Amino acid sequence: MKMRNWFIASVIGTGIVATPAAAGAQKAVPVVTVTTIPYLNGGIGDDEAETIRSKANDFSLHLTFAEGPNDALTANIPVVITDARGDPVLAVSDAGPLLYVMLPKGRYTVTAQAHDVGETEHVTLDGKQGKDVVFHWSSPSM
């Protein structure tokens, strides 16, 4: 990934900057660090989702965002993760459909919002294995 793109993503914390991949090659999904918390954000399309999922063992928290009766993956979800004291450790304005975060052992609160509906999950990470959390919303009313 170009240094300029990395710098922009790190400074404004908007998520990954996709880089084109050669046809048939595995897509490059860069790790983005905001403050000191590395994370992967993306998963639009099967190739990108597969690439992110292949990195799951490197991250302690695996968030998936879905909606509707068919569990369709969704993106552009604002997410805030706070520690046990309530201090924010990560905020991503456009997460999803997959957000993998490298957090140390501890207790966290994850808040995500879609269609003006906020959801909160309390997560305890033991430092030994990754934790999967799925946020699911009903389809927006039309």
Is the residue at 55 inside a domain? yes
Is the residue at 142 inside a domain? no
Q: How far apart are CA 142 and CA 128, in angstroms?
A: 43
Omega before 97 cis (within 30°)?
yes
Residue 100 belongs to domain with CATH number = 2.60.40.10
To the question of pTM greater than 0.85 for the whole model, the response is no
Which of 51, 37, 62 is closest to 123 using CA atoms?
A: 62
- Give the count of domains, the chain: 1
Is the residue at 109 inside a domain? yes
Of the pLDDT bands very low, low, confident and very high (cuts 50, 70, 90), residue 2 is very low
Tens-digit pLDDT profile for residues 37-89: 999 999 999 999 999 999 999 999 999 999 999 889 999 999 999 999 999 99
The whole domain housing 106 covers 3-137
Tens-digit pLDDT profile for residues 119-137: 999 999 998 899 999 999 9
Is the residue at 72 inside a domain? yes
Is the residue at 43 inside a domain? yes
